Amino acid sequence: MLFLSSQQYSRGCFPSLIVISRLICCCAIVAFTLSCSSSAPSSTSVIEKKAHPDGHAPIGGSSDYQTSTSCKNCHANIYEQYAESMHGRSFENPIVKAIFFDVLLPSTRNSNALFEEVSACIACHSPLTFVRSGGDISSLPDEGDYIPGVDCDLCHTISGYEGSTPEGGNFISRPSVKKLGPFKYKDDHHRSYSELHTKSEFCAICHNRKNRYGLEIISTFSEWKESSYADKGIECQDCHMNIQGFLTAGEPVYESGTAAQGTLITSKERKKLYTHRFPGAHSESQVVGAIQLDIEIDESAVEAGKEMVIYVEVDNSKSGHKLPTGSAELRLLYLELVAEVGGRNVHIAANSLDKKRFDVSGKGKFDSKFIGKEILPGSRVYRAICVDPEGEQALFSFDAQKIIFDNRLEASEVRQEFFTFQVPDDIGQPFTLSASLKYLRYPGSLAEELGIEEAKPITLATVRKEVQLK
Q: How far is CA 176 from CA 170, 192, 371, 393, in A?
A: 19, 11, 47, 45
Q: Which of 233, 274, 232 is closest to 254 using CA atoms?
A: 274
Q: What is the pLDDT of residue 186?
A: 78
Of 127, 141, 291, 113, which Cα lies nearest the Cα of 211? 113
pLDDT of residue 46: 27
Give the per-residue pLDDT at 45.
24
Residue 78 — very low, low, confident or very high, per pLDDT cuts 50/70/90? very high
Q: How do 269-273 and 380-382 pair as beta strands?
A: unpaired
pLDDT over 50 (residue 59): no
Arithmetic mean of pLDDT over the chain: 84
Phi, psi of 298 (to 5 degrees): -65, -35
Nearest-angstrom CA–CA distance, 86 and 447: 19
User: At 6, is the pLDDT very low, low, confident or very high (cuts 50, 70, 90)?
Assistant: very low
Rounded mean pLDDT of 321-344? 94
Q: Averaged over 381-394, what is the pLDDT? A: 97
Assess whether pLDDT exceeds 70 at residue 137: yes
Residue 149: alpha-carbon gap to chain centroid: 12
Closest residue by Cα to residue 304 from 177, 431, 166: 431
Confidence class for position 33, pLDDT limits 50, 70, 90: very low
More confident residue, 287 or 355: 355
CB distance 360 to 379 below 8 Å: yes
Phi and psi angles of residue 51, each rounded to the nearest 5 degrees, phi first: -80, 150
In this prediction, residue 34 carries a pLDDT of 39
Q: For position 50, what pLDDT does the model report?
A: 33
Which pLDDT score, from 0 to 100, does residue 267 have? 81
Please determine, for residue 11, whether its predicted confidence score (pLDDT) is greater than 90: no
Render the burial of 167-196: b for 16+ CB within 10 Å, e for the rest. Answer: bbbbbebebbeebbbbbeeeeeeebbebee
277 vs 135, which has greater pLDDT?
277
**How confident is the model at residue 184, as a pLDDT?**
87
Q: Can you give the pTM of this predicted structure? A: 0.84
φ/ψ of residue 466, rounded to 5 = -85, 135
C-alpha span between 10 and 178 (Å, rounded): 47
How many CB atoms lie under 10 A from the CB of residue 57? 12
| Whole-number pLDDT of residue 141 | 85
Return the pLDDT at 145: 86
Please report the pLDDT score of residue 110 as a whole number.
Answer: 72
Q: Residues 6 or more apart from 190 whose CB is under 8 A from it?
A: 177, 178, 179
pLDDT tens digit string along 342-371?
889 999 999 988 888 999 999 999 999 899
Average pLDDT over residues 456-460: 92
How many percent of the chain have pLDDT more than 90?
Answer: 64
Please check the confidence at residue 458 and state whether its pLDDT lies above 50. yes
Q: Report the pLDDT averaged over residues 404-417.
A: 97
Nearest to 360 by CA among 314, 428, 417, 445: 417
Q: Do the beta carbons of residue 256 and residue 269 sit within 8 Å?
A: yes
Residue 36 has pLDDT above 70, yes or no: no
Collapsing DSSP to helix, strand or coil, 445 comes out as: helix
Confidence of residue 321 (pLDDT cuts 50, 70, 90): very high
Sign of the C-alpha dihedral computed for residues 399, 330, 98 and 49 taken in this order = positive
Burial class (CB in 10 A: 0-12, 13-18, 19+), 231: exposed
More confident residue, 136 or 416: 416
Q: Which of 322, 91, 150, 111 is CA-nearest to residue 229?
A: 322
Going by C-beta distance under 8 Å and a sequence separation of 6 or more, which residues neighbour residue 410? 223, 227, 316, 322
Is the model more confident about 112 or about 131?
Answer: 131
Residue 97 in this model has a pLDDT that exceeds 70: yes
Instruction: Tell me how far CA of residue 170 lies from CA of 53, 61, 119, 123, 161, in angstroms.
Output: 16, 13, 10, 8, 5
CB 230 within 8 A of CB 193: no
* 427-442: average pLDDT: 93
Q: How confident is the model at residue 244 (pLDDT cuts 50, 70, 90)?
A: confident
CB 66 within 8 A of CB 153: yes
Query: Which DSSP string corresponds to 336-390?
Result: EEEEEETTEEEEEPBP---TT-TTBTTTSTTHHHH--TTS-TT-EEE-EEEE-TT
Q: Across-strand partners of 462?
A: 436
Tell me the percentage of the chain whose pLDDT exceeds 70. Answer: 85
Q: What is the pLDDT of residue 406?
A: 97
Nearest to 40 by CA among 140, 148, 189: 148
pLDDT band at residue 139 under the 50/70/90 scheme: confident
**Amino acid 188: pLDDT:** 84
Across the range 250-264, mean pLDDT stands at: 87
User: How far apart (Å, rounded) are the C-alpha atoms in residues 12 and 112?
Assistant: 77
* Average pLDDT, integer, range 243-272: 87
Count CA atoms within 13 Å of residue 186 on its CB side: 0
Distance of CA 13 to the CA centre of its chain: 60
**pLDDT of 177 over the 70 cut:** yes
What is the predicted pLDDT for the residue at 51? 32
Q: What is the pLDDT of residue 14?
A: 32
